[in-house]
Structure 1
Amino acid sequence: MIQTLREWLIGICTAVFFITAVEMILPDNSMKKYAKFVLGLILITVFINPIIKIFDRNFDINTYTANVMENFDKKKTENDFKQYKEKNISTTLEVFKLNLQSNCEKKLKEKYPEGNYKVDVEAAYDSENDKLTIKDVKVGVKDGAVEKVKRIQIGGDSKSVNSTENIDAEKSTEIKKYLSDELKVSKDIIQVSKL
């Protein structure tokens, strides 16, 4: 019992010495009151630790503090990992779409050099299977003719002109089949129109 009382008094003296040293080092600003509050909590913990031990012999403030910090760190790590994963998926999806679009345009230009092509890809991340999937592929074909006017404004009224005309069915079918084979996707998700 004397040993326990001695350890308690040494703990209190050490805590008071530590708190005094920290208060002397702290600058006089708004942060000082928060630091004093935390230091006061430390002192209260040192004071009540032996009293709690009387009621619960297995109580150890260090163990409880370590458990709380471990749980806090675990939740923070899980949250950080989740945010990193979402950002990584979003970035990967954007890069995938851009690379796929430029690759399709290049392959179409090599296969059908007489036209110019603009490809727009819609892709998504399938979390269930952990892979990227192609949802929609829109191919715009320009035959070297002048590009259609998309919007005309005369006075205060504006008129829109539909610029998504269909190209001939044979060429459209060829392009769909070619891209379907190249991308290993269904022809149904590929749309071909004139620019």
Structure 2
Amino acid sequence: MIELLKVWVTNITIAIFFITAVEMILPDNNMKKYAKFVLGLMLIVVIINPIIKIFDKNFDLNSYSNKATSYIEGSTQPSDMKKYKDINIVNTTENFKKNLQKECITNLEQTYPENKYNADVDVVYDSKNGVFNINRVKIEVVDSGVQSIKSIKIDTQSVDASNENVLTNTQGKQIKKFLSNKLKISDDVITVYKVNS
């Protein structure tokens, strides 16, 4: 019993000397308080370890730390990581799409202020290359006048009455070229429509 007490006091003394040495070489900044916290936890573990062994003879701090490490690195983590990564990609894609639509509208209204614009962008994440690809950009040039009817629903049957006019004139070509240069994409994925407001 006296031998165990001697080992315990020796371990506490060594831990205190180690903590003191580390605190002396730490710079005076925000990291010092975190380092002191971790060093204090180490000292608590050194002090409590023999007391816990009195109540539980099979207690081994290393086995508990190994179990905790294996749990953290266990088989459930990769599936959780994949789930969080997928959710993050979906959210990032949606935010990228919204920001791109706003940017298109803002740039067009600044460059061609005579009209109002709506934008619809189709963005897909390419997981192989880790990039977002812009598949389609649909720009609506809102013209003054009567607004066109997009769809009519009668007794749960939908009648498509879409009359979007694709702009192939100079205005449409200018908008396509402008957005193609601005977004660094091919003008083939950009379609410009004229709609009534």
Q: CA deviation at 1:162?
A: 2.0
Q: CA deviation at 1:66?
A: 7.6
Q: CA deviation at 1:84?
A: 1.4
64 and 124 in structure 1: CA distance in 2 versus 1, 3 angstrom threshold: same
Does 1:147 pair with 2:147? yes
Q: CA deviation at 1:133?
A: 1.6
TM-score normalised by the chain length of structure 2: 0.60
Paired position in structure 1 for 2:123: 123
Does 1:104 pair with 2:104? yes
Paired position in structure 1 for 2:176: 176
Q: For 1:116 and 1:93, locate their aligned partners in 2 and report how far apart those are by CA, in whole Å.
A: 25
| Structure whose CA Rg is larger | 1
Paired position in structure 1 for 2:72: 73
Q: CA deviation at 1:121?
A: 0.5
Aligned pairs for 1:8-27 (under 5 A) are none
Per-residue displacement from partner, 1:74-97 (whole Å, max 9, x unpaired)? 232222221111111111111100
Paired position in structure 2 for 1:18: none
Q: For 2:174 and 2:190, locate their aligned partners in 1 and report how far apart those are by CA, in whole Å.
A: 11
Q: Secondary structure at the match of 1:163?
A: coil
Per-residue displacement from partner, 1:123-170 (whole Å, max 9, x unpaired)? 111112212121110111112222112234678986431221122421
Q: CA deviation at 1:63?
A: 8.9
Per-residue displacement from partner, 1:53-74 (whole Å, max 9, x unpaired)? xxxxxxxxx9999877655532
Q: CA deviation at 1:177?
A: 0.2
Per-residue displacement from partner, 1:1-34 (whole Å, max 9, x unpaired)? xxxxxxxxxxxxx88xxxxxxxxxxxxxxxxxxx
Larger mean Cα displacement after TM superposition, 67-76 or 101-110 = 67-76
Q: For 1:158 and 1:92, locate their aligned partners in 2 and report how far apart those are by CA, in whole Å.
A: 33
Task: Tell me, yes or no, if the aligned pair for 1:163 and 1:194 is still in contact at 8 Å.
Answer: no
Aligned residues: 143
Q: Secondary structure at the match of 1:85?
A: helix
Q: For 2:127 and 2:154, locate their aligned partners in 1 and report how far apart those are by CA, in whole Å.
A: 49
Q: Secondary structure at the match of 2:164?
A: coil
> What fraction of aligned residue pairs are identical, expressed as a percent?
35
172 and 156 in structure 1: CA distance in 2 versus 1, 3 angstrom threshold: same
Q: Which amino acid aligns with 1:136?
A: R
TM-score normalised by the chain length of structure 1: 0.60
152 and 83 in structure 1: CA distance in 2 versus 1, 3 angstrom threshold: closer
Q: For 1:102 and 1:94, locate their aligned partners in 2 and report how far apart those are by CA, in whole Å.
A: 12
After superposing on structure 2, the runs of 4+ consecutive aligned residues of structure 1 that deviate more than 4 Å are 62-72, 152-158
Q: Which amino acid aligns with 2:120?
A: D
Task: Tell me, yes or no, if the aligned pair for 2:166 and 2:191 is still in contact at 8 Å.
Answer: no
CA RMSD of superposed structures (Å): 3.1
Larger mean Cα displacement after TM superposition, 95-104 or 84-93 = 84-93
